[in-house]
Amino acid sequence: MRIGFIGLGSMGAAIAANLIESGHEVHVFNRSPARAEPLREKGASVASTPAQAAQGTDVVFTMVADDAALDEVTLGEKGIFAGLRSGALHISMSTVSVAAAQGHAEMHRKAGFGFVSAPVFGRPDAAAARKLFIMAAGADEHLKVAVPLLDQLGQSVGIVGADPSQANLVKLIGNFMLSVIIETLGEACAVAGKAGLDPMHLVELLTSANFNAPPYKIYGSLIASQRFQPPAFALPLGQKDNRLMLAAAEALGVPLPLAGLIHDRFLTLRSRGIGADHDWSAVALCALSDAGLTGQERGI
Amino acid sequence: MRIGFIGLGSMGAAIAANLIESGHEVHVFNRSPARAEPLREKGASVASTPAQAAQGTDVVFTMVADDAALDEVTLGEKGIFAGLRSGALHISMSTVSVAAAQGHAEMHRKAGFGFVSAPVFGRPDAAAARKLFIMAAGADEHLKVAVPLLDQLGQSVGIVGADPSQANLVKLIGNFMLSVIIETLGEACAVAGKAGLDPMHLVELLTSANFNAPPYKIYGSLIASQRFQPPAFALPLGQKDNRLMLAAAEALGVPLPLAGLIHDRFLTLRSRGIGADHDWSAVALCALSDAGLTGQERGI
Amino acid sequence: MRIGFIGLGSMGAAIAANLIESGHEVHVFNRSPARAEPLREKGASVASTPAQAAQGTDVVFTMVADDAALDEVTLGEKGIFAGLRSGALHISMSTVSVAAAQGHAEMHRKAGFGFVSAPVFGRPDAAAARKLFIMAAGADEHLKVAVPLLDQLGQSVGIVGADPSQANLVKLIGNFMLSVIIETLGEACAVAGKAGLDPMHLVELLTSANFNAPPYKIYGSLIASQRFQPPAFALPLGQKDNRLMLAAAEALGVPLPLAGLIHDRFLTLRSRGIGADHDWSAVALCALSDAGLTGQERGI
Amino acid sequence: MRIGFIGLGSMGAAIAANLIESGHEVHVFNRSPARAEPLREKGASVASTPAQAAQGTDVVFTMVADDAALDEVTLGEKGIFAGLRSGALHISMSTVSVAAAQGHAEMHRKAGFGFVSAPVFGRPDAAAARKLFIMAAGADEHLKVAVPLLDQLGQSVGIVGADPSQANLVKLIGNFMLSVIIETLGEACAVAGKAGLDPMHLVELLTSANFNAPPYKIYGSLIASQRFQPPAFALPLGQKDNRLMLAAAEALGVPLPLAGLIHDRFLTLRSRGIGADHDWSAVALCALSDAGLTGQERGI
């Protein structure tokens, strides 16, 4: 299939490479063109605008940083809308706000394009290994096109429903739940550390028992060893998703005390100089630092 | 092996039955004798005091409600110490405080008895199915006796270390982490519910993705369907464990804001009349009620 | 002095009346004209647009609901900018965001108008009695004009500094501190109530001792008697100010756990149907309800 | 009147000195006798046991550190009960637990002694200046004796009621409210500091407006200037009172999220090495440090 792919960060690049490997004709675009070169070597055509990447395709994927970037590559002067043929499909994999997804669903419908939200769970290594968990939502006719493609990119595709924005809500809820796991492990490792129990041993014991889901294993190991660099999911991105979750919940009238706590953890870290060069699992540093277990040497 | 077993609540009864089924000669004791009858039918001898249940055994298990009950069956006038032969082993499976475990380890050592802490993760159905996750800690010579027995009772035995009280700490940390999962699911289902997304569908999507650990499945289903009765783990027991975790953390100088939040949830529920006839997953009712999703009809 | 006054809510009407009574020539405007009638009877001219109210004046006051209303009456087609003479002064008494105040200060400067932020502490009865506490900030030359007028409207005028937006920040901090007093009193009265100590007696004891500031007296009495209607400061306005404080703090990188707690209280109340017909002191209902002291009959 | 006075910490010494100055015959006792010397110079008799200090008196005051100390000086081998004449009165000014006060009220009644709880608000300088706010509770016949004496020691005596323990509850509630003021000021000064507004100026503006109660002035000045040493009320004592409040609230079934937050602040500070040489207003350091405003140089 002829496919456009816009946004070649560490997640997007891995997914686009898999589409190429699966035999699709992929036209890529990235704001800073250098990141497109490795894809060109794998066989992609490199477009100079989103409109050009979308031209002549049946499906265009986007995997960009935030609402503003999605607006720009879609609605900007040289955006997708300026190149996509009527009736073609836009699969938005970015973690954007529920409100943005609602707006795009409506605008695409009016403009005669299909729109599917398909945000993903998984870090870049999972994307490369086609191990992503993908949440997809959109009209049946659009899912019929999207799901077979998404099946090639991850280990499972969950069908959320007909409203694209609900896939984004599920993604935000999922990231919220991951952030709580990070905080939980931070507090648990703080207790263990001060009790003279090796935090890594604690994590092994628990993840060999009923806490045997991937997030406990991945984040447990990072937190127990206080290994927060380099980032696989950079702290400011996690902070952005926390804000999106709180905004969605506020609009729905739902208090989320857990997300409020994490919100403050992010602010604390940023104000102490911990930023984009750290993984978001560094949220656990707050609990460790408040217990007196770390700090000075890290500047927090 | 000749084994004493003291404490035949829903957990203890299931474990004792498995010991009988595995071919051991089991002498049981329970404060209210009626609960011993089903075990007698399965082949147990029913003792009239803990001392009598312990007499002549190599190993005596206890699975009782709290610190006070453990003290009573162990140190009371007709307690285990009054019946157990020198050199025999006490395997304490109860969820008791770290301080109590420390005290018992010391007292057993002085009195010439072995002591292993072996608290468990799993609800009564898991106990019956030998699917418990068991955390064991004690001196090597005592673990050598205990672990083969524990292996018959669960799907895995994690060796925490030589200090029995650290197994209790791991158990409390685990229950703390479960309580956070319950609160997380309450908040997540509140968001879903108000966004018009069926909470049960949310839970299925997430547990089919990366949240595929048993606690998310078990509690997710209970919370999405608001099915909190009858209790598998009664709310006041969960509240007790929350208190034990906070007490252990306070003694270690570790702030646990997540446990503090759960602590307040328990108080809220109890003050609104939700108690021992509810499962501890009813903690999720607070988030649902604060979002206006439930309440009046449940009296909260 | 010839004065324009825009925004005749319960606060604005009381202040405008005092300006008339002090001998000024006051031209009033309010979006819904009915509220201007009582002022007309007291001697005000009633303008049909903000521009008309501003025309020919030396000073125009605004006391409106929020950022959007301030933008509209100032920058809208028939707004203040369309009527005010060059060099005249705009005194903004509304509780608006720090960012909005920064924007208006800049726009007024560029357009050749003076701008002073002068938000107030005090409820409508205090406004009527000229008992407001006023926080004023702006350039010296503008304060020289504003402060003598403000002195006629309150019991004290605090000079915050040269940057108008800092007066708005102080106002938001003050309202944040009031909201914490409300929550504190809610929790304190919950303890007293369940201990069999009359909450009103508790409040009297404390406000006769070191808690002798007006907010403890005013809110203490409302909360101890659970008298939240009619509103003197409506709950949604308090919620708006809580959001503005959190937004300002987020922009500055300051975690505010207390404001986060109050934020959730507001969401809880709104989701349970408590809204604009309640005073913001109804925030205390949450603590009382969580303690089981009230609820069913109020629908929370 | 012949009076015994037990406990000569900074508060007790100031109060005892005032009793001497008012013309009473005062017999003092302190565990470490050196602290009794300045009182001897002022005219006190120095006793070598609490029993001796109580002997022959009509009223014995105690002002000691905690429940354990109150038990010891009252019920110990050479305690008050061993010296006090039947029918005499014990006025307990210490900040002890509600449960301890209940126990002492009962024990005194059975032993034929009067018992009045009369805890105080105010720091040592206020005690010296007879500016304390005193909360008194007890049977009418005992208050008839106690209140005229207490009137000599403070600026007001609030009569809580007939149950002595309720005065202790009011005291704990008051200290809880003070701790929230400290946290509030910490968060407020953090916002101001990062916005380029001098925290001391903020405090002056607010305490010149509606936040004109002593605690805002006293703690505002300490916090704005980050002057936490030497302590007037040492941090571990504040932490103790926070624990007592949480314990009383737990027994009553009242969640106190504000007290829970402060509880964690204390643990954080202690784990970072901030202890008895700091005033409890150092709780504000947490908010300042989380905002990145202080820290490294203070070791937090």
Give one DSSP letter per residue of A182-198, joined into a string.
HHHHHHHHHHHHHTT--
Give mean pLDDT, residues D37-59.
97
**B177·A184 Cβ contact <8 A:** yes
Query: Is a pLDDT exceeding 90 seen at residue C110?
Result: yes
CA distance A241 to chain C (A): 15
Question: Which residues 128-147 of B are in CB contact (within 8 Å) with A?
Answer: 133, 135
Q: What is residue D298's predicted lDDT score, i.e. its pLDDT?
A: 54
Q: State mean pLDDT over B17-42.
A: 97
CB-CB: which of D271, D291, D295 is closest to A292?
Answer: D271
- Which chain B residue's Cα is nearest to D256? B264
Q: Which chains touch B (3 or more CB pairs under 8 A)?
A: A, C, D
b/e sequence A54-77, b meaning 16+ C-beta within 10 Å: bbebbbbbbbbbbbebbbbbbbee
The residue among D262, D263, D283, D300 with the most chain B CBs within 10 A of its CB, best to mutate, is D263
Give residue A295's pLDDT: 57
Q: Is A23 exposed, middle or buried (0-12, 13-18, 19+ CB in 10 A)?
A: exposed
Hey, is the C-beta of B254 within 8 angstroms of any chain D C-beta?
Answer: yes
Q: Does the beta carbon of C150 lie under 8 angstroms from any beta carbon of chain A?
A: no
Q: What is the ipTM of this complex?
A: 0.95
| Mean pLDDT of each 10-residue bin along chain A, 300 residues long | 96 98 98 95 97 97 96 97 97 97 98 98 94 98 98 97 98 98 98 97 97 95 96 95 98 98 98 96 97 68
Beta-carbon neighbour count of residue A188 at 10 Å? Answer: 31
In whole angstroms, what is the distance from residue B27 CA to residue B48 CA?
Answer: 10
- Nearest CA-CA partner of C285 in C159, C173, C199: C199
In D64-103, the residues whose Cβ lies within 8 Å of chain C are 98
pLDDT of residue A142: 98
pLDDT at B298 over 70: no
Identify the burial level of A131 via C-beta atoms within 10 angstroms of its C-beta, where 0-12 means exposed, 13-18 middle and 19 or more buried: middle
Nearest by CB to residue A268, choosing from C255, C263, C271, is C255
B299: pLDDT strictly greater than 80? no
Give the model confidence (pLDDT) of C156-207 as tens digits. Answer: 999 999 999 999 999 999 999 999 999 999 999 999 999 999 999 999 999 9
In the three-class reduction of DSSP (H, G, I as helix; E, B as strand; rest coil), residue C119 is classed as coil
Q: What is the pLDDT, as a whole number, of residue C70?
A: 98
Interchain CB contact of B268 with D (< 8 Å) = yes
Residue C294 has what pLDDT? 78
Residues D240 and D97: their CA atoms lie apart, in Å, by 10
What is the pLDDT, as a whole number, of residue A24? 98
Q: Which residues of chain C have a CB within 8 Å of the CB of A300?
A: none
Task: Please indicate whether residue C240 is annotated as part of the active site.
Answer: no
Residues B135-181: pLDDT tens digits? Answer: 999 999 999 999 999 999 999 999 999 999 999 999 999 999 999 99
| pLDDT single digits (tens) B102-113 | 999 999 999 999
Cβ–Cβ contact B121 with A under 8 A: yes
**The pLDDT of residue A298:** 54
Closest residue in D to C195 (Cα) is D252
Residue D294: what pLDDT?
78
Interchain CB distance below 8 Å, A210 and B174: yes
Are C144 and C216 in contact, with CB atoms under 8 Å apart?
Answer: no
Chain D environment of B240 (Cβ under 8 Å): none
Give contacts of D264 with chain A, Cβ < 8 Å: 290
**Over 60: is that where the pLDDT of C299 sits?**
no
Q: Do D292 and A299 touch (CB under 8 A)?
A: no
Contacts of D239 in chain B (CB under 8 A): none
Q: Are D105 and D165 in contact (CB under 8 A)?
A: yes
pLDDT at B264 over 80: yes
Q: Are C59 and C89 within 8 A, CB to CB?
A: yes
Task: Check A260 against C264: CB less than 8 A apart.
Answer: yes
Contact C267 A260 (CB under 8 A): no
- Please report the pLDDT score of residue B26 as a whole number: 98
The whole model's pTM is what? Answer: 0.95
List the catalytic residues of A: 171
Residue among C268, C291, C299 whose CB faces B290 most closely: C268
Q: Mean pLDDT for chain D? A: 96
Interface of A with B in 206-235 (CB under 8 A): 206, 208-216
Strand partners, B6: B29, B62
| Inter-chain residue contact C254 with A271, CB threshold 8 Å | yes
Whether A177 contacts chain B with CB within 8 A: yes
pLDDT reported for residue B297: 52
Helix %, strand %, coil % for chain C, to 5? 55, 15, 30
Using the predicted structure, report yes or no on whether residue C298 has a pLDDT greater than 70.
Answer: no
If one compares D151 and C123, the residue with the highest pLDDT of the two is D151
Cross-chain residue pair D210–C122, CB shorter than 8 Å:
yes
Annotate C178-229 with DSSP letters as a single string.
Answer: HHHHHHHHHHHHHHHHHTT--HHHHHHHHHTTT--SHHHHHHHHHHHTT---
pLDDT over threshold 70, residue D115 = yes
Minimal Cβ distance to D253: which of C184, C197, C292: C292
- Spatial contact of A165 and A137, defined as CB atoms under 8 Å apart: yes
**Residue D297 forms contact with A (CB below 8 Å):** no
Asked if A290's CB is within 8 angstroms of D271's CB, the reply is yes
Better pLDDT: B281 or D299: B281
Q: Contact C158/D208, CB-based, under 8 Å?
A: yes
Q: Which residues of C touch D169 (CB under 8 A)?
A: 191-192, 195, 197
Residue B5: its H or E element = strand B2-6
How far away is chain A from the Cα of D246, in angstroms, using its nearest Cα? 20
**Partner residue opposite A188 with nearest CB, options B166, B177, B292:** B177
Rg (CA), chain B: 20
pLDDT tens string D181-192: 999 999 999 999
Chosen from A197, A201, A293 to mutate, greatest number of chain B CBs within 10 A: A197
Tens-digit pLDDT profile for residues C220-267? 999 999 999 999 999 999 999 999 999 999 999 999 999 999 999 999
Selecting among B110, B171, B217, B240, the annotated active-site residue is: B171
Q: Which residues of B touch A291 (CB under 8 A)?
A: 252-255
Residue A201 to residue B121: CA distance in whole angstroms: 17
Q: pLDDT value at position A294?
A: 78
C253 close contact with A: CB closer than 8 A: yes
How many angstroms separate the CA atoms of B183 and A261, rounded? 13
Kindly give, in sequence order, each residue whose CB lies less than 8 Å from that of residue D73, ignoring residues fewer than 6 positions away. Answer: D6, D7, D29, D50, D62, D64, D79, D80
Dihedral sign from CA coordinates of D234, D238, D243, D248 = positive
- Name every chain C residue with its beta carbon within 8 A of the beta carbon of A265: 255
Domains of chain C: 2-162 (3.40.50.720), 169-298 (1.10.1040.10)
DSSP state of A136: E
D156 contacts chain C (CB < 8 A): yes
Q: Using CB atoms, which residue from A121, A169, A257 is nearest to B210?
A: A121
How many B×C Cβ pairs under 8 Å? 31
Distance from CA of B260 to the nearest CA of D (A): 6
* C296 lies within 8 A of chain B by CB: yes
